[in-house]
Structure formats: structure tokens, C-alpha cells
């Protein structure tokens, strides 16, 4: 990690380490250019480029880089896409989406996390991300349709129907589905309806249902 003498930045080294598991070069280039250390608390900076999830404020986590990269590649993002990111957390995933899509809308239930993420992302000079505080379970109906929806918290057994409805034609949604045991599920909106593929196992914090609290 860090100064290994390779001449690569720590983020570029991380992208290089992920290469065997991630086929999309645009995703790897984005990972190589976002400094993950800015998205973690000072106490975790030493581990910022390790391929692990790390604790952030409000008892939440910044996701594991490999899982972030896989979710980004499954979304098959185009530079013209409008993307919704549910569960802003540190903002790391949103920053990567900002490099790969045209416009990013990110929603978080903790105001404090949203504010920190906004500062971090603006500090990187990215100006195509809009921040919302609220219940991501409902998505952002006023801003729909989206070409891509990223859900960074586990939905329980069922994908939120409101999110699927906010996909435009050909839209893709990736989400960790399940509770104790979770898998990434990719949903694609086709002319014939929603197609679902169940992929690798993952571990995310739960997508909280605010009305149930």
C-alpha cells in the first residue's frame, strides 16, 4: 500500500490489484483517479487503500473497493447516463459514479454523512452530483427516470418496487438483496419487463425502512 516504489499513486495501485476481478477499463480508470483516503476518517487513513470495508461516521461503512468496482461494472454506465445512488455514506461510490455517468443523484438518511460526502466530493472538483437527505427506499420519483440505480445497502428479501419503477427503458439497477446472507442482484428493464440476475455474495449494512422505526 502507499509508497511501494512502483511509481503508481495508491489509488492506481488499488485499481491494478482489482484488475483480475474487474473487466471494465473505464471502472478501473475511475478507481485509479479517486483518492479513497479522502472518504475515510483520519483514524482509518492508513487502511484507505486496502481492499476492505472501513467504518465511517454514524456507525456506517465505506464499501469494499472490489464490491464497488463490480457494482459499477454491472451498471454498464455510459457518459450520457443519469444515475441514482441510494446510501451516500462516505460518498466514495457516488464520486466514482460521477466520473462514469453524466449526472448523479445520491440519497442518504443521515444528514451528517450527506454533508460530509458533499464537502469531500466538491473538494475533488466534481460538480455533477446532487445530494438528498431522505429515505432512499422510495428513490427520487421527482428526478426519475434513471439509466442506472446503485443501492449500497441491503434491501432484505425484496427489491424496493419504487426503485425498479424509476428505471428508464434499458435501465439497470444493482442491489445487495437478502439479510444475513446477501447477494448482488442485477435488474434490467427490458421491453418485456424486469429481468433479474443473482450474482456473487456480499455483505452490506441494511437499507433501513424509516417508517418502521
Q: For ligand SAH, which is the closer residue by CB, 10 or 136? A: 136
Work out whether 73 is an interface residue with ligand SAH (CB under 6 A): no
Crossing angle (nearest 10°) for helices 65-74 and 10-18:
60
Work out whether 130 is an interface residue with ligand SAH (CB under 6 A): no
Among positions 36, 70, 82, 93, the unique one binding ligand SAH when judged by CB under 6 A: 93
- In angstroms, how far apart are the furthest CA atoms of the chain? 52
Show the binding pattern over residues 149-168: x = contacts ligand SAH (CB under 6 A), - = does not: ---xx---------------
Instruction: Using the rule CB under 6 A, give the single segment among 23-31, 54-62, 121-129, 181-189 that binds ligand SAH.
Output: 54-62
Instruction: Measure the CA–CA gap between 194 and 28, rounded to whole angstroms.
Output: 28
Work out whether 109 is an interface residue with ligand SAH (CB under 6 A): yes
DSSP assignment of 47-95 equals: GTTSSS-EE-GGG-EEPPHHHHHHHHHHTT--TT-EEEEE--TTSHHHH
Shortest Å distance, C-beta 132 to ligand SAH: 9
* Residues near 134 by beta carbon (within 8 Å), at least 6 away in sequence: 107, 109
| Bond preceding residue 145 cis, omega within 30 of 0 | yes
Among positions 18, 137, 184, 185, the unique one binding ligand SAH when judged by CB under 6 A: 137
Catalytic residue among 9, 63, 181, 197: 63
Instruction: Measure the CA–CA gap between 36 and 64, rounded to whole angstroms.
Output: 11
Among positions 31, 62, 126, 173, the unique one binding ligand SAH when judged by CB under 6 A: 62
Instruction: Using the rule CB under 6 A, give the single segment among 21-29, 120-128, 180-188, 204-212 that binds ligand SAH.
Output: 204-212
- Tell how far CA 202 is from the center of its chain: 13
User: Quick check: is 63 catalytic?
Assistant: yes
Q: For ligand SAH, which is the closer residue by CB, 179 or 210? A: 210
What cell numbers appear for 162 in the block?
419504487
Instruction: Measure the CA–CA gap between 65 and 68, rounded to whole angstroms.
Output: 5
Q: Which residues on adjacent β-strands are paired with residue 108?
A: 133
Binding interface with ligand SAH (CB under 6 A): 60-63, 86-87, 89-90, 92-93, 107-110, 113, 135-137, 152-153, 205, 207-208, 210
Active site residue ranges: 63
Amino acid at each position: 500500500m502507499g509508497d511501494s516504489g512502483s511509481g503508481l499513486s495508491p489509488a492506481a495501485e488499488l485499481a491494478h490489484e482489482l484488475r483480475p476481478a474487474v473487466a471494465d477499463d473505464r471502472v478501473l480508470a475511475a478507481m485509479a483517479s479517486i483518492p479513497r483516503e479522502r472518504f475515510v476518517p483520519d483514524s482509518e487513513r492508513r487502511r484507505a487503500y486496502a481492499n476492505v470495508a472501513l467504518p465511517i461516521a454514524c456507525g456506517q461503512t465505506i464499501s469494499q473497493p472490489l464490491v464497488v468496482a463490480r457494482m459499477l461494472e454491472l451498471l454498464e454506465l455510459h457518459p450520457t447516463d443519469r444515475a441514482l445512488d441510494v446510501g451516500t455514506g462516505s460518498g466514495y461510490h457516488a464520486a466514482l459514479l460521477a466520473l462514469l455517468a453524466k449526472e448523479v443523484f445520491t440519497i442518504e438518511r443521515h444528514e451528517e454523512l450527506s454533508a460530509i460526502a458533499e464537502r469531500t466530493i466538491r473538494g475533488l472538483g466534481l460538480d455533477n452530483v446532487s445530494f438528498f437527505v431522505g429515505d432512499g427506499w422510495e428513490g427520487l420519483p421527482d428526478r426519475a427516470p434513471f439509466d442506472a440505480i446503485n443501492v449500497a445497502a441491503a434491501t432484505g428479501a425484496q427489491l424496493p418496487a419504487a426503485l425498479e419503477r424509476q428505471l428508464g427503458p434499458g435501465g439497470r439497477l444493482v442491489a445487495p438483496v437478502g439479510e444475513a446472507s446477501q447477494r448482488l442482484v442485477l435488474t434490467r428493464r427490458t421491453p418485456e419487463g424486469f429481468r433479474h440476475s443473482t450474482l456473487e455474495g456480499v455483505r452490506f449494512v441494511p437499507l433501513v425502512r424509516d417508517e418502521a422505526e
